[in-house]
Structure 1
Amino acid sequence: MRSGYRAPRRWLQCAIGAGLLLSAAGALAQTAATAGPAATAHQATAPRTVLVMGDSLSAAYGLRADQGWVTMVGERLAREHPGWQVVNASISGETSAGGSARVVEEVLRHRPGVVVIALGANDALRGLPLPELRRNLARMIGASRHVGARVLLVGMRMPPNLGPDYTRGFEQTYRDLAAFFDVELLPFLLEPVAADRGNFMDDNLHPTAEAQPAIAGHVWPALEPLLR
Structure 2
Amino acid sequence: MSTVWLFTGDSVTQGALHTFGWRDYTQLFAERVRFELNRPADAVINTGVSGQKVSELDVEGAVLRHRPDVVVLMFGLNDCAAGPAGLPAFVRDYAAVISRVRRAGAKVVLQTPNRAPESGWADLPAYAEAVRSLDADVLVDHHATWDGGEHWMGSGCHPNEYGHRALARNLLRALDLWEPVGVSGSLFIP
User: Normalised by the size of structure 2, how large is the TM-score?
Assistant: 0.77
Equivalent position SS for 1:92 = coil
Bigger share in helix:
1
**In the TM superposition, what whole-angstrom CA distance separates every residue of 1:35-71 from its partner, at most 9, and x where no partner exists?**
xxxxxxxxxx8x4311101111111121367611111
Distance in 2 (alpha carbons) for counterparts of 1:65 and 1:85 = 22
Bigger share in strand:
2
- Contiguous gaps of at least 5 residues in structure 1: 1-44
Distance in 1 (alpha carbons) for counterparts of 2:14 and 2:144 = 14
Distance in 1 (alpha carbons) for counterparts of 2:143 and 2:40 = 25
Contact 2:64 2:101 in 1 (8 A): no
Higher alpha-carbon Rg: 1
Equivalent position SS for 1:82 = coil
User: Normalised by the size of structure 1, how large is the TM-score?
Assistant: 0.65
Specify the alignment match of 1:204 in structure 2: 156
Specify the alignment match of 2:137 in structure 1: 183
Distance in 2 (alpha carbons) for counterparts of 1:75 and 1:190 = 25
Q: Rate the CA distance shift 1:135–1:158 in 2: closer, same or farther, 3 A.
A: farther
**By how many angstroms is 1:154 displaced?**
0.8
Query: 1:1-228 maps to which residues of 2 (within 5 A)?
Result: 47-62=2-17, 63=19, 67-79=23-35, 80=37, 81-99=39-57, 102-127=58-83, 129-156=86-113, 169-178=126-135, 182-188=136-142, 191-192=145-146, 194-201=147-154, 203-224=155-176
Matched to 1:118, the amino acid is M
Equivalent position SS for 1:94 = coil
The root-mean-square deviation of aligned C-alpha atoms, in Å, is 2.6
Contact 1:197 1:204 in 2 (8 A): no
Matched to 1:122, the amino acid is N
Distance in 1 (alpha carbons) for counterparts of 2:5 and 2:46 = 8
Distance in 2 (alpha carbons) for counterparts of 1:104 and 1:153 = 18
Distance in 2 (alpha carbons) for counterparts of 1:84 and 1:73 = 11
**In the TM superposition, what whole-angstrom CA distance separates every residue of 1:7-26 from its partner, at most 9, and x where no partner exists?**
xxxxxxxxxxxxxxxxxxxx
Distance in 1 (alpha carbons) for counterparts of 2:41 and 2:176 = 13
Matched to 1:107, the amino acid is V
The higher relative CO (CA closer than 8 Å, separation ≥ 6) is in 2
Q: Rate the CA distance shift 1:136–1:65 in 2: closer, same or farther, 3 A.
A: farther
Distance in 1 (alpha carbons) for counterparts of 2:27 and 2:129 = 29
Aligned residues: 171
Matched to 2:47, the amino acid is A
Distance in 1 (alpha carbons) for counterparts of 2:118 and 2:22 = 33
- Contiguous gaps of at least 5 residues in structure 2: 178-190
**By how many angstroms is 1:108 displaced?**
3.0
Contact 2:14 2:50 in 1 (8 A): yes
